[in-house]
Amino acid sequence: MSRLKSASDFTGINPNYTNGKGYYTTHVDVSDLLQISPSTDADGDGDYSYFTTSSTPSKAMVGKIIKTVEGKIDGWIKQSYRPEIIENEIHNFESGRLVIYPATHWKDYIGFIQLIYPKLRKVVKLEIYEGDSWKNIASSSVKYTPPTSATTPAFTLKLLVAGYTFTLTKGNSNGFYDVYGQKTTVSQICDAINEVFPHDTAQFTGETSPKITTEDGGTTRNVSDFFYASPANDGKSVEISSLLPSDAGSICSIIETIDGTAVTTNFTDNEDSGREGDWWKIAEEGKIYLKKQWPYLKNNSIRVTYITGASRVPAEIHDAATKMVAAEILVHDDNSILIAETGANIDLKTKHDILIQEANDLIKGKQNLLHLID
Same domain, 195 and 167: yes
Same-domain status, 126 and 144: no
- The C-alpha atoms of residue 216 and residue 239 are separated, in whole angstroms, by 22
Segment 280-303 shows an average pLDDT of 92
- Please give the Cα distance from 313 to 321 (Å, whole number): 11
- Give pLDDT, residue 374: 43
Flag whether 171 is in a domain.
yes
- The CA distance from 164 to 367, in Å, is 39
Of all residues in the chain, the percent with pLDDT exceeding 70 is 91
DSSP 307-363: EE--SSB-HHHHHHHHHHHHHHHHHH--SSSS----TTS--HHHHHHHHHHHHHHHH
Residue 295: asked if its preceding bond is cis (omega within 30°), the reply is: no
- pLDDT one-digit tens code per residue, 44-61: 888 889 999 988 899 999
Query: Is 296 in the same domain as 321?
Result: no
In a domain, 372, yes or no: no
What does the pLDDT read at residue 203?
95
At residue 106, the pLDDT reads 62
Quote the CA–CA distance of 158 and 136 in Å, as a whole number.
23
Domain boundary among 269, 289, 320: 269
Q: Do residues 250 and 171 share a domain?
A: yes
Q: Are residues 169 and 251 both part of a single domain? A: yes
Is the predicted pLDDT of residue 370 greater than 60, yes or no? no
Residues 210, 131 within the same domain: no
Residue 169 predicted with pLDDT over 70: yes
What's the rounded mean pLDDT across residues 14-31?
94
Report CA-CA distances (Å) from 334 to 61, 139, 156, 330: 16, 52, 51, 8
227 closest CA partner among 274, 195, 181, 262: 195
Task: Say what the pLDDT of residue 101 is.
Answer: 55
Report whether pLDDT(338) > 70. no
* 147, 220: one domain: yes
- Can you tell me the mean pLDDT for 208-227? 95
pLDDT at residue 299 greater than cutoff 70: yes
Residues 210, 234 within the same domain = yes
In a domain, 208, yes or no: yes
**How many Å from the N-terminal Cα to the C-terminal Cα in the chain?**
21
Picking from 192, 117, 123, the residue whose alpha carbon sits closest to that of residue 370 is: 117
Mean pLDDT, residues 275-295 taken together? 92
**Residue 112 in domain:** yes
Q: Average the pLDDT over each of 79-93, 177-191, 293-307, 343-357 and give the range with the smallest value.
A: 343-357
Query: Would the pLDDT of 99 be above 60?
Result: no
Structural domain count of the chain: 3
Domain that holds residue 232: 140-269
Pick 335 or 313 by higher pLDDT.
313
In a domain, 10, yes or no: no
**Contact between 189 and 177 (Cβ < 8 Å):** no
CA atoms of 20 and 28, how far apart (whole Å): 8
> Which DSSP helix (H) or strand (E) runs through 20?
none
- 6 domain residue, yes or no: no
Q: Which of 244, 269, 294 marks a domain boundary?
A: 269
* Nearest-angstrom CA–CA distance, 155 and 62: 40
125 with 146, same domain: the answer is no
State whether 238 and 153 are in the same domain: yes
User: Among 25-39, 255-269, 333-347, which range has the highest average pLDDT?
Assistant: 255-269
Span 236-254, pLDDT tens digits? 999 999 999 999 999 999 9
Residues 60 and 117 in one domain: no
The pTM (predicted TM-score) of the whole model is 0.86
| 97 shares a domain with 55 | no
d(CA 358, CA 9): 18
